[in-house]
Amino acid sequence: MKLREVVNTTGLTVRTTAQRLDVEVTGGYASDLLSCVLAKAQKDNLWVTLQAHPNIVAMASLLDLAGIIVTEGQELDASTVEKANEKDVCIMTTDHATFTIVARLAELGVPGVD
């Protein structure tokens, strides 16, 4: 499933570059601990998190993630948005909680990575 379809069917708001919306999403991972994400999340995965600071951009860029979904209406720092656009990292936001979003992604058939 393309990132664009995920965005449309789950009502996510794309907050940074739309460059990666045609990426085929390969799976998902949810955690707020960066080391866990680094160890587990794979290329073209979606990462669901509460973290909204600029360092999430480096994670997504280093791991070639499809995108980051920031949950619970967390506001993105201005520098997060700026960095993400610079690094072609797609950040989406939602008012829903992490669990709700993960459940929806699972419904759409996005597999979890273990």
* Footprint of another protein (CB under 8 A): 7-19, 21, 32-39, 43, 49, 51, 53-55, 57-59, 61-63, 79, 85, 87-88
Length of the chain: 114
Closest to another protein by CB, 13 or 111: 13
- Lookup: tokens for 37: 């994400």
Closest to another protein by CB, 18 or 111: 18
Closest to another protein by CB, 28 or 51: 51
Q: Taking the complex as a whole, how short is the minimal distance between the CB of residue 43 and another protein, in angstroms?
A: 7
In the sheet that holds 13-14, the strands lie side by side as 13-14, 91-93, 67-70, 45-49, 27-30
Neighbours of 39 (CB within 10 A): 10
Q: Taking the complex as a whole, how short is the minimal distance between the CB of residue 6 and another protein, in angstroms?
A: 12
Strand partners, 46: 28, 67
Q: Taking the complex as a whole, how short is the minimal distance between the CB of residue 111 and another protein, in angstroms?
A: 19
Q: Taking the complex as a whole, how short is the minimal distance between the CB of residue 50 and another protein, in angstroms?
A: 9
* Distance, first Cα to last Cα, the chain: 19
